[in-house]
Chains A and B, each alone.
Chain A
Amino acid sequence: MRNKLNRKIAPNLHFLRQQEFPAFGTLLLDNGIPLYCIEGGEQAVFTLELVFSAGRWHEPAPQVAYYTARCLCDGTTAFSAAQLSDALDNVGAEIKTNASGDFSSIRLSGLSEFFPEAIQLLHHILSEANFPQHQLQLHLGEDLQELAINLTTGNYLAYRQLQSHMLGENHPYAASPTAESLQKIQPEILQAFFNTYYTPQNCKIYLAGKLPAGSFFHLNEILGKDFGKKSVLLPTPQVPIIPKYSPAFFEIPLKKNQQVALRFGVPVPLQNQPDFLKIYVFNTLLGGYFGARLMTKLRTEKGYTYGIYSQIKTYKHAAYCYISCETNKRVAKAAVYEIFNEIERLSREAVTDDELQMVKNYLIGNTLNWIDGPFNSLMCLKDLHAFGLDVEYFTNFAQNILQITPVDLQQTAATYFTKEKFTQVLAGV
């Protein structure tokens, strides 16, 4: 007879080791663009991402990087927006564009069998995009309405206030759209930004998926040729002097709402600084996963909120950590008290070895998601590069995380996360 199963005893756990980063290729196209490539996957699809150093940091006026990216596929000298969209659909491909604090990117994904056709279209757009006025007006009209809606919600108002205070009101990273800033966007400004920054000299390419034979040849034949304006000298961005951070307290009234949106932020070192990993682990412990201190206290024990998180906002030249939560007006005061009580407790009492080990295991296990399949791996590589890091950072991640001690985290709490350093925004009071 077999033994009865003892369900109170957990199955043995295997010690998690850092995985190697998947093999990837690095090539230079004829025009000097570095190409990083991970082949693989069961489905016959690919993703190709072009990254340009052309984010909000580089823009001459607020929202220029965003609208350049947004309007990129709105028309070329040969095709209308609808024709471009049809041409892409015809080859089962899609282009998504994005502009962040430091970068603009174009992601082309599609069916591998039409890889050459899809990149040909991309090359055409990169060479001939012409930002039609009519399409721009459609976007601006839509976005003005969206802005009006957002300005009635606590989470948008609170986030916007926090972002502008943490970085400085006039900081390019922080610029939020306003009715006035949107009215200043003109096709010529977008075209000029595009001409200057969307060039081979300012570009990196990331490619992943199941690729047909000859793909590199095709890629080099097409994207290895010049596109955009040739050898424009990149201007140095004019970044205003960033005011020294001092914490502040903001209350934004929103009478109709039943909840208050809480956003509490504190500055932290940049991602490439030595203390960053400790901050990263601290953030996870505080509010970075489901079992985190804040979630346990405010959701599981008190029922004050549907969710509470802390996260780190990282840019090349700035970083801050912030806590976000929507909670009922009736319990908002109690929620604020509990949040700071948990933060303070982390500097007062060392975390137990068990809890810290759990956070480490969770984080190390989580790194496997970053390298799950060619698409995730490629995005991971891209993100590392964005912060001037390489795969060694990934390979050493587990080992470095494992070295962090309870005392380290207590010191991190005391150094960076004391209550008086936090900027507090409450929207919906």
Chain B
Amino acid sequence: MNSLTYLVPLLPLATFLVNLLFFRKNRHLAPYIAVGGVLAAFIVSLSLAARLLDNTAPLVDEIRWLDVSGGVLGNFTIKVGTLLDPLCAMMLLVVTGVSTLVHIYSLGYMHDEPGVARFFMYLNLFTFSMLGLVVSPNLYQMYIFWELVGLCSYLLIGFYYEKKSANDACKKAFVVNRVGDFGMFLGILFLTYYLSTADFLALPGKIGNWPIAGPAWLPLGVVALLLFCGAVGKSAQFPLHIWLPDAMEGPTPVSALIHAATMVAAGVYLVARTYVVFDAALFSSVNASQVVAWVGGFTSIFAATIACTQYDIKRVLAYSTLSQLGYMVMALGAGGSGVGAGSFHLFTHAFFKALLFLGAGSVIHAMHTNDIREMGGLWKKLPITGTTFFIACLAIAGVPPLAGFFSKDEILMALSEGHMVKLYWLASGVAFMTAFYMFRLFLMTFTGSEPAHGHPHESPISMTFPLMVLAVLSVVAGWSSLPSEKNFGHYIHYERPAGLAQQWEGAKSLAAAHPEAQGTVKAHELLAAAPLTPAKEEAVKEESHQFQWHAEIWIPATLTGLAGILLALLMYYFKVFSPARVVSALGPVYTLVYNKYYVDEAYAWIVHRVYFVLSRGIAWFDRHVVDGFMNGLAFVSQVSGSVLKRVQNGQVQAYALVFALGLTALLVFVKNVLF
């Protein structure tokens, strides 16, 4: 064992098992045991991360699990174990850190719930699954934990199992995720088939040495898109985003932990881990990175517009999560420094979004309602919640020097470096809308006139303590990207394998040599046409991966965020012009957005009018043709049996007669035919 990485997932699992076996009904002890498990995991993660600060070489511990010999793969081994590298360590810190805070928060929030022990067991199990996913050294192990995470999400969304809406929501989440997971599993199988490995560390080498450009690259594009299917499902990108807003039926700490900070980041993590496949797909006619970027971009603006219209505090945050996840995915698709930028946004977003959700939970705890129209003036009543919520809003709106400012800048940087002009403008628009809807939410909840009924009071210390910690993190998390010798980008970035870089350079120089062919001949065709010159290697080797600063990016971005805040202030604080007039001015557009673009209804229509009709046809075929054939067989045997059984009449003499005649016939046959 090279490292103690295996301890990180196993500690929450251990406390889960202890609670399961001994304290299943113990509402006083089980929560504290659960908190102990994740806290220990967090401490181990800290020590692991500290170890990586100086030496970023990945540490791998693996044992053989399944040997597959023969078949198309030759000898192929599926391993289980742990992989520790900076990306993984970052995720470990986020998951264990946020999970610990959410556990502590839940001590207060879930205190009066009947199933509190069950709740903490699920939380532990989820933390274990997510950590197992993060430390996976290969896609197979990742897939197992991927599904486990989905299961935990299902259990936690359906925690209030006596509520029908919660039951529907958890089923929806599970089913929608299955759609994406199916694609992901196909992708894993294809990847294994083409590269005969599923180990993350082996991927760059294998792909760098991929024989020759040309049609052979096509499979990689397909693999990349299939893997991305999994990310679309888990990270709730359009069109599989529909489960995430409904997942708000779960308890609020769950929303904070799973549906904002950690689990939904799994898709982003998957893409970042396997980014080399997406990068290599540049050579194929399937441009996977472009697809990734546009899916992310579309999701982010799509969800941001919906978030501007919702009134349920958790739903606004849910759509905001969708939008921010779209941001990360868009960054990944931008390529180059986008992987680092997307991962960085994942890192900062985890803190302020967890804070927003936990703050929302604190508000709901005090108000017993989710509707922001029934709230107002809560800042005075809930000073800690209000202040921390305000910090989180500033962070997500991208106000310097809070965390969101840094990570959004990185993403915008990556987009402009990747020459994705349309997406750059789109991302700026989303940043504006993000600032607007977050401050709309904040102003409607915490300022203005106080509600007529109820006596809201500040939450207990177990709930406010995590809020304060997260508020501090929301401020400082971004500083890890400040220009220095070793900032965030130094640790987490995507390095194009040398072999791939060489081929890419070759393709570029060929394209430059054939300007008349630009736009008509694809890179891989050029590459296939001419041999490569292995000269450019040192040119791409020593590239700096540190995040950089460009005034032309961050100043407009900041101004955009401030403009969004200003608009929200004008509408909801100074009431210069009333939201109702905006609504009526927008008319049907507002109705469309308010109803979430009728995506759910479209799915319902497809399911009812297309899927069910098809199913009915198939059911008819099954019932009448397949079953009919089987029933026919049974009927024929039954009828022939009932006819034949008449021969057996129970009269021994009749048997004797047949016997005698048969014997005679046999003798005649032997005598005359055989001899």
**B and A form one assembly:** no
- List the interface of chain A (C-beta within 8 A of B): none
- List the interface of chain B (C-beta within 8 A of A): none
